[in-house]
Structure 1
Amino acid sequence: MIKIQLPKIDNFKTEYYNLIQPLVLERLRLLKISLSHLNDPDTVDDDDIGEVKTITKNIVDTMVKPKTPKSSFNKAVYKQKIRTYQTDAKEVIDVDFSKLIELTDYILDIGNDSLKTLIIGEPNLIKGFHDDLFASFDITERVSKDVMYEAFSYNFLGDEVKDFFYKKDISDYCSYCNISKAKHTNNPLTGKVVDQYHLDHFFSQVDHPMLAVSLFNLVPSDYVCNSANKGKLLFSDIFHLNPYISGFSRDLVFEPIFDEKEEIVALDLKIKCPRDSERWKQFIGDQDLRDLAPEHGNVNVFQLFGKYNDENILWQVNKLYKTYKRAARNDRSLHELLEMLEDGQDDRYENIKNWYEDAVRTRFHENEFGKLAFSKLNRDLLDHAFAIYSEKLGEEIVELLLSSYLPEKGGQ
Structure 2
Amino acid sequence: MILFLLLFLLLLARFFYIQATGTVHNQDLDKLAQQKHSKKGVLEANRGTIYDQNGHVLAQDANSYKLVAELKGANHVENKEDTAKKIAGVLGKDEEKILATLNKKDKSQVEFGTLGKDLTKEQKEQIEALKLPGISFITENARVYPNGDFASYVIGHAKPNEEGTSVGQFGLEKSLDKYLSASNGKVAYTGDRKGVSLDGGKVKVEAPKNGDNAYLTIDQRIQSYLEDAMKAASKHYDPESLIGIVADPKTGKILAMSSKPSYDPNDRQIKYFFNDAIANAFEPGSTMKIFTLAAAINEGVYKGQDYYQSGTYQVGNRKIKDHNGGAGWGSITFDEGVERSSNVAFAILGDQKLGPERFRKYIHSFGLDEKTNIDLPGEGSNTIVFDQQIQQVTTAFGQ
Name the TM-score, length of structure 1 as normaliser. 0.28
The structure in which a higher percent of residues are helix is 1
